């Protein structure tokens, strides 16, 4: 009996479908959740290399540039569905990036370098703007004990005069994000936030009227007035300057190895200006003499040292500017990022040897990069989708060919009608013998003759083979031992589409397999997205 028992093994479809399901679930979990924490694991505050500086004397500032959350105006050439899908994917990426960043690094303060919303400058109702700003704060949730500072960008309040920009943009920005020019002290450093959008507009008026910055009657409450009032007082602490628009630099200046492509060039267009003018840049450098400049707007990383006029032997000769990467995946770069700034109130002993006498401590900063979400879609998801589709298509083509071969084999194994036993003679003999029996005589009284055989109602199939055969019946495997009058039935779990799978065509079977493979990872993705948006 043991020689006739089959090896019980799931059908090939279960192996293919469940294997693809499990692989897809692992891929989604890794690239949608764990990849962010894995990438940020290498991101550390620059002060960790300063063992002599206690944590209580360090100010840790997270600097974010150009999140620029989109709305329905961002891509006017796209249809409604593509706009909605794009906004969902970008918002989801921003939420995951921010959640991983803020929970892992836990900064003391956060600075946004402008372009908070892609169309904050657009004409819209107050209700729509309120919902737009509320969406920004819902994405970038910040703990109550974390100080937050905002700079205006050209996408927030508009640059220049045009009918498409709202006259209320500046007022709306101030009501939600605070003052456009500000200063604070952190870790024995002065953080100076300047409204570079207003500076550009005032600089154009100054240049048209032929004034220099020394004799220009600054607009009251404007950026020039703010900078002059600040510089009029002597400041012992080093200054860290924050501006949305980068400062001017020579044409073709190299931005360093961390930049993805190109460089920052001077230029202007509808609602934007790539850099401040040479005069405005020298105005800020000459009056403020910052130790570090952090700017945004360009979306890509750039590092450049501006020369400073030499005032004394102990003064610095350069001011280093870092243009911070955009935090969004939708700003034309593959690796979004941010900047970490550590402000120490004392100089460690090993660094004091390299500092000039009585020089202030230098701020420490380092860039951090986020996952290449677009690269994940193009180099992981798209190829794996194609591989999954090809695998399922190949399996279904093999299934159709196997089914056709079995049908041809059955036709070739059907015996001719002459091989069936002839029961007509036995029926005739039985009828004659029955007619010769006397009336009234029962079968039991006739002890000399054999009783009649049972009537034949169905022809028995000939025993064509003693080999084991099996067929799929609903969700069970039924095994027959033909020729031995034995039947074995084993119940095995099967998929929803296994019932009748051998009877369906190529297209229907392929689409059913695609649906069976797709829904578990899609469900995992939706649950992960829901968790990201609500927790």
The model's pLDDT over 44-62, given as tens digits with 9 standing for 90+, comes to 999 877 665 454 468 899 9
Higher pLDDT, residue 492 or 365: 365
Per the domain annotation, does 450 fall within a domain? no
Query: Do 183 and 314 have their domain in common?
Result: yes
Query: Do 277 and 393 have their domain in common?
Result: no
Report the side by side order of strands in the sheet with 337-344: 147-150, 109-112, 58-64, 337-344, 364-369
Per the domain annotation, does 500 fall within a domain? no
The total domain count for the chain is: 2
Per the domain annotation, does 423 fall within a domain? no
CATH no. for residue 137?
Answer: 3.60.21
With 60 as the cut, is the pLDDT of residue 527 above it? yes
Query: Do 58 and 36 have their domain in common?
Result: no
**Neighbouring-strand partners of residue 480:** 469, 487
Helices 12-29 & 382-413 angle (0-180, nearest 10)? 170
Least confident of 66-70, 259-263, 358-362, 377-381: 358-362
Coil, strand or helix at 476: strand
pLDDT band for 408, please (50, 70, 90 cuts). confident
Per the domain annotation, does 356 fall within a domain? yes
Query: Do 33 and 114 have their domain in common?
Result: no
Count CB neighbours of 123 within 10 A: 14
With 90 as the cut, is the pLDDT of residue 117 above it? yes
Tell me which of 331, 349, 371 is where a domain ends. Answer: 371
Per the domain annotation, does 361 fall within a domain? yes
Q: How far apart are CA 511 and CA 443, in angstroms?
A: 65
320-to-302, 310, 313, 356 alpha-carbon distances in Å: 11, 15, 19, 17
Q: How far apart are CA 477 and CA 196, in angstroms?
A: 76
Residue carrying structure tokens 């879609």 = 377
**Neighbouring-strand partners of residue 191:** 184, 240
Per the domain annotation, does 408 fall within a domain? no
Query: Do 25 and 127 have their domain in common?
Result: no
For residue 6, give both structure tokens. Answer: 């089959």
305 with 318: CB under 8 angstroms?
A: yes
388 with 20: CB under 8 angstroms?
A: yes
With 80 as the cut, is the pLDDT of residue 316 above it? no
With 70 as the cut, is the pLDDT of residue 242 above it? yes
With 80 as the cut, is the pLDDT of residue 467 above it? no
pLDDT band for 497, please (50, 70, 90 cuts). very low
Question: Residue 102: which of 58, 66, 146 has the closest Cα?
Answer: 146
For residue 364, give both structure tokens. Answer: 């420490």
Q: Beta 58-64 vs 337-344: how paired, if at all?
A: antiparallel
Tell me which of 371, 389, 414 is where a domain ends. Answer: 371
Per the domain annotation, does 456 fall within a domain? no
- Rg of the chain taking only CA atoms, in angstroms: 40
With 50 as the cut, is the pLDDT of residue 109 above it? yes
pLDDT of 30: 93
Q: What is the mean pLDDT of the chain?
A: 82
pLDDT of 393: 93
Query: Do 182 and 301 have their domain in common?
Result: yes
Tell me which of 371, 389, 415 is where a domain ends. Answer: 371
Most confident of 175-179, 461-465, 497-501: 175-179
Question: Residue 256: which of 198, 224, 303 has the closest Cα?
Answer: 303
pLDDT band for 418, please (50, 70, 90 cuts). low
Query: Do 60 and 41 have their domain in common?
Result: no
With 50 as the cut, is the pLDDT of residue 494 above it? no
With 50 as the cut, is the pLDDT of residue 384 above it? yes
**Neighbouring-strand partners of residue 184:** 191
Query: Do 139 and 41 have their domain in common?
Result: no
Query: Do 177 and 218 have their domain in common?
Result: yes
Higher pLDDT, residue 227 or 8: 227
Query: Do 283 and 315 have their domain in common?
Result: yes
Higher pLDDT, residue 352 or 166: 166
Least confident of 47-56, 92-101, 138-147, 370-379: 47-56
pLDDT of 406: 81
Q: How far apart are CA 37 and CA 305, in angstroms?
A: 32
pLDDT of 175: 95
Higher pLDDT, residue 179 or 426: 179
69 with 91: CB under 8 angstroms?
A: yes
Query: Do 79 and 200 have their domain in common?
Result: yes
State which residues form the domain around 152.
50-262+270-371
Per the domain annotation, does 339 fall within a domain? yes
pLDDT tens sequence across 256-306: 999 999 999 988 888 999 999 999 999 999 999 999 999 999 999 999 999
Q: How far apart are CA 505 and CA 164, in angstroms?
A: 57
Query: Do 253 and 281 have their domain in common?
Result: yes
Least confident of 54-63, 188-197, 211-220, 246-255: 54-63
């Amino acid at each position: 009996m043991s020689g006739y028992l089959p090896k019980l093994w799931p059908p090939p479809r279960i192996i293919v479908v469940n294997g693809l399901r499990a692989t897809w679930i692992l891929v989604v979990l890794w690239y949608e959740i764990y990849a962010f924490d894995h990438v940020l694991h290498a991101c550390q505050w620059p002060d960790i290399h300063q063992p002599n500086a206690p944590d209580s004397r360090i100010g840790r500032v997270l600097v974010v540039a150009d999140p620029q959350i989109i709305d329905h105006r961002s891509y006017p050439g796209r249809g409604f569905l593509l706009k909605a899908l794009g906004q969902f994917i970008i918002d989801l990426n921003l939420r995951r990036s921010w959640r991983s960043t803020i929970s892992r690094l836990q900064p003391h303060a956060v600075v946004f370098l402008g372009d908070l919303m892609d169309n904050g400058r657009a004409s819209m109702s107050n209700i729509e703007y309120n919902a737009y700003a509320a969406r920004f704060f819902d994405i970038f949730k910040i703990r109550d004990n974390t100080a937050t500072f905002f700079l205006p960008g050209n996408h927030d309040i508009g640059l220049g005069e045009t009918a498409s920009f709202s006259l209320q943009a500046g007022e709306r920005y101030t009501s939600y994000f605070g003052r456009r020019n500000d200063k604070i002290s952190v870790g024995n450093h002065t953080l100076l936030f300047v409204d570079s959008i207003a500076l550009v507009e005032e600089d154009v008026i100054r240049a048209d009227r032929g004034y220099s910055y020394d004799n220009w009657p600054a607009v009251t409450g404007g950026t020039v007035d703010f900078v002059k009032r600040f510089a009029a007082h002597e400041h012992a602490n080093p200054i860290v300057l924050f501006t949305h628009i980068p400062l001017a630099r020579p044409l073709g200046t190299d931005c360093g190895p961390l930049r993805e492509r190109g460089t920052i060039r001077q230029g202007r267009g509808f609602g934007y200006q790539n850099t401040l003018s040479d005069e405005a840049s020298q105005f800020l450098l000459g009056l403020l003499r910052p130790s570090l400049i952090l700017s945004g707007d360009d979306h890509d990383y750039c590092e450049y040292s501006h020369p400073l006029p030499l005032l004394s032997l102990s003064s610095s000769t350069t001011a280093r500017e870092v243009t911070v990467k955009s935090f969004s995946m939708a700003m034309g770069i593959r690796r979004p990022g941010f900047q970490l700034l550590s402000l120490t109130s004392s100089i460690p002993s090993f660094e004091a040897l390299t500092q000039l006498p009585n020089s202030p401590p230098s701020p420490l900063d380092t860039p951090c990069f986020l996952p290449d979400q677009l690269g994940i879609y193009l180099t992981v998801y798209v190829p794996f989708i194609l591989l999954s589709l090809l695998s399922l298509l190949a399996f279904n083509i093999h299934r159709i060919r196997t089914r056709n071969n079995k049908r041809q084999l059955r036709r070739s194994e059907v015996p001719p009608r002459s091989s069936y036993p002839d029961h007509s003679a036995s029926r005739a003999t039985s009828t004659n013998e029955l007619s010769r029996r006397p009336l009234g005589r029962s079968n039991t009284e006739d002890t000399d003759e054999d009783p009649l055989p049972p009537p034949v109602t169905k022809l028995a199939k000939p025993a064509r083979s003693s080999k084991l055969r099996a067929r799929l019946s609903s969700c069970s495997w039924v095994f027959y031992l033909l020729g031995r009058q034995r039947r074995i039935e084993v119940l095995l779990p099967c998929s929803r589409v296994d019932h009748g799978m051998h009877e369906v065509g190529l297209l229907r079977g392929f689409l059913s397999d695609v649906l069976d493979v797709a829904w578990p990872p899609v469900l995992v993705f939706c649950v992960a997205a829901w968790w990201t948006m609500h927790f």
